[in-house]
Amino acid sequence: MYKNNNIEPPDKSTPKILEDKTKSGKERDWKGKKKRSVLTAEHFEVAGLHSKAERMKDCATQLVFKHTEETLKLYQAWFCKVRLCPMCNWRRSLKIAYHNKRVVETVNERENVCWLFLTLTVKNTDAEVLPETISAMFEGFRRMMQYKTLKTSVKGFFRALEVTKNRDPQSESFGTYHPHFHVLLCVPASYFKKKEFYITHEEWTSLWKKAMKLDYTPIVHIKKVKPKEKLDELETYEKDLKNAIKEQNAILEVSKYPVKDTDVIKGNKVTEENVETVLALDNALAYKRLIGYGGLLKEIHKELNLGDAEDGDLVNISEDDEVANGTFNVIARWHIGLKNYVIE
Ligand SMILES: [Zn+2]
């Protein structure tokens, strides 16, 4: 009890919580991603994948930012780089989106092209055959891109492998996995007008079927990239660029890192089913590169010297935000009890 009522209780000053916003005012969800990483790590623990669990628990526990005029810029952090880590995959997504923005902008500046979205699927598989199915898909994709028809029509591509799981108990294929490719294709501007370039939906399907040596007809989607209204945190907004930006927003949709943590861990609790998914996906995706570039896009990615968004540096997303001298550090540390980042 305090003798004097005027005396404040011992200083338990409320901790200052990290607030990191983009230039456009959008909150960067460090807390949400870290919470998901902790939850994913718990699943890894139960699955018996102890060293990955330990690494994931340590992922981004301390963040050092440089405080610039308006925003914080991440300066130092340690990321675990486990394939299924939600924190790392968020950083990977941001980096891929930035890379693709730069690559697409450069292509559009230099060449008269248009962009297509291609989705390539195979039948759902169970966990045991998932790794070999994925390997076969990489091989099939490589083979398909060598076909003369595609060499004539496709100038370059970005492809991402995504694996979703069927969680509908009513479905016949409940519990099976659905690996598929999302591909962004760069084709000549005259693609839709010239017969020598245009590839019909049926042709796309049969090319994929042939490349994969399938005895059934796979589901394939192809569509033209249409400008999209939604704004993204990465772009600047100028009237004359408006259409290009809208097109780019659509392109950025395939630029996310293909592992969605909500596909891996359903809900907010450790469940047997989630542990099973973690084991299956960790095994199937280990040492595999989920994203890749080809043709013109590969050349430009290399020329721009963008580095590796999958296994490379996850601290610096873009190289254009130079940090001025004299800026001070802001250190945020993950607080287990508060489940939030607290500023030191
Ligand atoms: Zn991580």
9-50 confidence digits (pLDDT tens): 445 578 899 999 888 888 999 999 999 999 999 999 999 999
Q: How many angstroms does the Cα of residue 303 sit away from the middle of ligand 1?
A: 28
Q: How many angstroms does the Cα of residue 171 sit away from the middle of ligand 1?
A: 33
Q: How many angstroms does the Cα of residue 306 sit away from the middle of ligand 1?
A: 21
Structure confidence at residue 200 (pLDDT):
97
How many Cα atoms occupy the beta-carbon half-sphere of 228 within 13 Å? 11
Residue 238: pLDDT band with limits 50, 70, 90: very low
Q: How many angstroms does the Cα of residue 196 sit away from the middle of ligand 1?
A: 46
Tell me the mean pLDDT in the region 177-183.
95
Q: How many angstroms does the Cα of residue 60 sit away from the middle of ligand 1?
A: 7
Instruction: Identify whether the C-beta of residue 56 lies closer than 8 Å to the C-beta of residue 45.
Output: no
Q: How many angstroms does the Cα of residue 73 sit away from the middle of ligand 1?
A: 19
Structure confidence at residue 256 (pLDDT):
77
Whether pLDDT at 1 is above 50? no
Cα 244 to Cα 100, 107, 140, 222, 306: the distances in Å are 14, 12, 33, 21, 21
Cα 260 to Cα 28, 165, 326: the distances in Å are 17, 11, 38
Over residues 239-297, the pLDDT tens digits come to 445 666 667 777 777 777 788 888 889 999 999 999 999 999 999 998 889 999 999 99
Q: How many angstroms does the Cα of residue 53 sit away from the middle of ligand 1?
A: 10
Q: How many angstroms does the Cα of residue 198 sit away from the middle of ligand 1?
A: 42
Over residues 102-135, the pLDDT tens digits come to 999 999 999 999 999 999 999 999 999 999 999 9
Structure confidence at residue 67 (pLDDT):
84
Helix (H/G/I), strand (E/B), else coil: 343: strand
Residue 225: pLDDT band with limits 50, 70, 90: confident
Q: How many angstroms does the Cα of residue 237 sit away from the middle of ligand 1?
A: 32
Q: How many angstroms does the Cα of residue 288 sit away from the middle of ligand 1?
A: 17
Structure confidence at residue 240 (pLDDT):
44
Q: How many angstroms does the Cα of residue 178 sit away from the middle of ligand 1?
A: 24
Helices (H) then strands (E): counts for the chain: 10, 9
Q: Which two tokens stand for residue 21?
A: 């916003």
Whether pLDDT at 3 is above 80? no
Q: How many angstroms does the Cα of residue 276 sit away from the middle of ligand 1?
A: 20
Q: How many angstroms does the Cα of residue 154 sit away from the middle of ligand 1?
A: 35
Tell me the mean pLDDT in the region 166-186.
93
Over residues 55-86, the pLDDT tens digits come to 999 999 999 998 877 788 899 999 999 999 99
- Give the rounded percent of residues in the chain with a pLDDT score beyond 70: 88
Q: How many angstroms does the Cα of residue 247 sit away from the middle of ligand 1?
A: 31
Q: How many angstroms does the Cα of residue 52 sit away from the middle of ligand 1?
A: 9
Q: How many angstroms does the Cα of residue 284 sit away from the middle of ligand 1?
A: 18
Structure confidence at residue 227 (pLDDT):
67
